[in-house]
Amino acid sequence: MKNCFAWPLTALILLLAASPAASQSPAMTRGPIAQPTPQATPAPSIQGAPTDRSRPKRKPHVIRRAPPAEPAAPVAPPASLEAPPPPYEPQLMRLSEIMGSLAYLRDLCGARDGDSWNARMTALIEAEATTELRRERLAGAYNKGYRGFATTYRTCTSNAELVIKRYLEEGGRLARDIASRYNGG
C-alpha cells in the first residue's frame, strides 16, 4: 500500500538544508464584528382604550397546516470545507513555531541565519499547505514563535542561547519523528 504522506514529508527531511531566502507568509487574523443591538420601544399608551373586560370576545383563530413539503434533494457539502488534517498536524505546528523562534533568536545571538530559517519555513509551507487555511495556520505558528521571543528578548542572553540549543534538538527530533513515522521510512 502506497503511503499518502510520502511526497510532502520529504520536505521535512530537507529542513536542515537551507534554500534561497524567501519572504514569510503573513497569517491573517480576524476578530468578531460588533453588531448593534435592537432597542425595545415602549408601546404607546392610548387614553380611553377599552380594558380587557370591556372588549368583546373574539373567535379563536384557526391554524391550518401547510401541505407536506416535498423531500429536499440531497445537499452537497460546500467546496470550501477543508479535508481533515493529517495525523502529524500538531507536531508540524510545533515545528513551525520552533522554526520561527529560531529565526529570531539565532539572528539575535549573532548566527545571522534568520533568512535561511525563513526559507525553510517557506519550503515547508509550499510542501504541506494544501489549502489557504492550512497555509495561514502554518504561517501563524511560525509568526507566533518569532513574535513570542521578539517581545521578550532584545539582546542575546545565556537563556536565549539555552533556548536555541533546546529548540534545535526538539526541532530535529520532531522532523526525524514525523519523517520516519509518516514517510514510510
Buried b (16+ CB within 10 A) or exposed e, 96-111: bbbbbbbbbbbebbee
User: What pLDDT, in 10s, does the model give residues 145-164?
Assistant: 999 999 999 999 999 999 99
- pLDDT, the chain, mean: 74
Structural domain contains residue 113: yes
The length of the chain in residues reads 185
User: What pLDDT, in 10s, does the model give residues 121-140?
Assistant: 999 999 998 889 999 999 99
Structural domain contains residue 65: no
Half-sphere exposure of 174 (CA within 13 A, CB side): 21
User: What pLDDT, in 10s, does the model give residues 41-81?
Assistant: 555 555 555 555 555 565 555 555 556 666 666 655 555 56
Residue 111, domain extent: 10-16+88-182
Structural domain contains residue 141: yes
Question: How many domains would you assign to the chain?
Answer: 1
Structural domain contains residue 42: no
